[in-house]
Amino acid sequence: MSEKRKIVPKADATPPFYVGVDLGGTNIKLGVVDDLGQSLSALSIRTQPEKGPEDAIKRMAAAVGDAISKAGLTHDDIAWLGLGSPGTMDIPAGLLISPINLKGWDNFSICQRMADHTGLPIAFSNDAAAAAYSEYWIGSGRAFHSMVLLTLGTGIGGGIIIGDLSIVGENSHGAECGHIIINDADDARLCGCGQRGHLEAYASATAVIKRTREALDAGRESSLAKRLADGAVLTPKLVAEAAAAGDHLSLKIVDDTARYLGVAITSLMHTIDPNGVLLGGAMTFGGKGSKLGRHFLAQIKREIDRRAFPLLAERIVLDFASLGGDAGYLGAAGIARLEHRRQGGTTGRGAGNGES
């Protein structure tokens, strides 16, 4: 879905320069990014969370050094470092509280330790908020004034950008769109957060696999049964392939997922009234380049048309995110840039001073 990111040479780049770091449970992606959102370098290392946060911080800081030299720069050339991380977190305190994918990293002062190791000022953000900011800055959302990104993966992340501001909230969890309630029944599906009836429990990749498995176990006819018997692994991609080939059950799974998303997005529209809503993350059902991906978007829109204020339904733009797996580090750099510019009295997403 996302094109391979072009690396620009220093001579074609526009200072100031930022480092963006996207800390994930499996990999850490990072790179040097210029004032226009162009990458001067990009690399990825394994997180190995089981070795503990201090070990990871050392390797992360070394990788930051590598990314800076690969870009032909020195630490002195870097204005700010942006760090995007999964929650739960306390953003003003620069603290990881209890991150689900980073077991044993509880109450870790990640920003202070990164600053100790790199000597750079650190802008901390939620990983989905960072991804949202990159789409707003240089991706599918660059024409929007306000937008929501939902990242569909193991869970559902959310990022809300309004007028060049990434919404953080009073307690650092202001955009947990995956936990919007779409079913208030006592036996509603159980979410990864421990509560029931949240969007994530219905429309994440994990939920899609679970719902498909339940339907197959209940004896629903599907070409998936043979694929699985032949040793295929049940994934949203497998469901998408079967749906694209005309499998009724798989298509129903895709349509139900769209319906759940449509319900949640309607609530977001009635709360925020954004220009656009983007879908990112690994689960795209083929994305914009496929008939099924476009059908998925159209089904979400159909649900919105049924439920939202007509004016909002008419004007909302639904699209897929465009920066793929690079969105996290690019957005972390973007949020670092935002912080740097705010301190210098500049606002707006345009390049250089004064433009807004």
Closest approach of Zn ion to the CB of residue 72, in Å: 44
Closest approach of Zn ion to the CB of residue 193, in Å: 3
Q: How far is CA 291 from the centre of its chain?
A: 23
Taking CB under 5 A as the criterion, the residue among 93, 165, 188, 193 binding Zn ion is 193
Give the Cα-Cα-Cα angle 131, 156, 141 (nearest 5 degrees).
35
The conformational region for residue 197 under phi > 0 = left, psi -120 to 50 = alpha, else beta, is: left
Question: For the residues of 239-286, what is the DSSP string, one character each?
Answer: HHHHHHTT-HHHHHHHHHHHHHHHHHHHHHHHHH--SEEEEESS--TT
Nearest residue (CB) to Zn ion, 40 versus 203 = 203
Closest approach of Zn ion to the CB of residue 338, in Å: 28
Nearest residue (CB) to Zn ion, 71 versus 191 = 191
Closest approach of Zn ion to the CB of residue 190, in Å: 9
Closest approach of Zn ion to the CB of residue 306, in Å: 24
Amino acid, single-letter form, for residue 292? L
Sign, CA dihedral 239-244-248-253, equals positive
Instruction: Work out whether 295 is an interface residue with Zn ion (CB under 5 A).
Output: no
Among 135, 159, 153, residue whose Cα is nearest residue 321: 135
Taking CB under 5 A as the criterion, the residue among 42, 160, 172, 179 binding Zn ion is 179
- Report whether 68 contacts 78 (CB < 8 A): yes
Nearest residue (CB) to Zn ion, 36 versus 193 = 193
- Residue where the block lists tokens 């159980």: 190
Integer angstrom CA distances of residue 23 from 114, 121, 223: 12, 17, 38
Closest approach of Zn ion to the CB of residue 260, in Å: 13
Applying the rule CB under 5 A, the residues between 59 and 118 that interact with Zn ion are: none
Nearest residue (CB) to Zn ion, 120 versus 191 = 191
The site that binds Zn ion (CB under 5 A) totals a number of residues, namely 5
Nearest residue (CB) to Zn ion, 194 versus 354 = 194
Q: Which stretch binds Zn ion (CB under 5 A): 138-146, 186-194, 250-258, 283-291?
A: 186-194
Nearest residue (CB) to Zn ion, 107 versus 195 = 195
One character per residue 196-215, x = contact with Zn ion (rule: CB under 5 A): --x-----------------
Applying the rule CB under 5 A, the residues between 112 and 151 that interact with Zn ion are: none
Burial grade of 290 (CB within 10 A; 0-12, 13-18, 19 or more): middle
Nearest residue (CB) to Zn ion, 198 versus 349 = 198
Instruction: Work out whether 191 is an interface residue with Zn ion (CB under 5 A).
Output: yes
- Report whether 224 contacts 250 (CB < 8 A): yes
Q: Lay out the sheet containing 276-280: strands in order across.
A: 165-166, 156-162, 146-152, 276-280, 317-320
Distance CA 63, CA 305 (A): 47
Q: Which stretch binds Zn ion (CB under 5 A): 141-149, 187-195, 257-265, 276-284?
A: 187-195
Q: Which stretch binds Zn ion (CB under 5 A): 91-99, 190-198, 250-258, 327-335?
A: 190-198
Nearest residue (CB) to Zn ion, 49 versus 178 = 178
Residues that bind Zn ion (CB under 5 A): 179, 191, 193, 195, 198
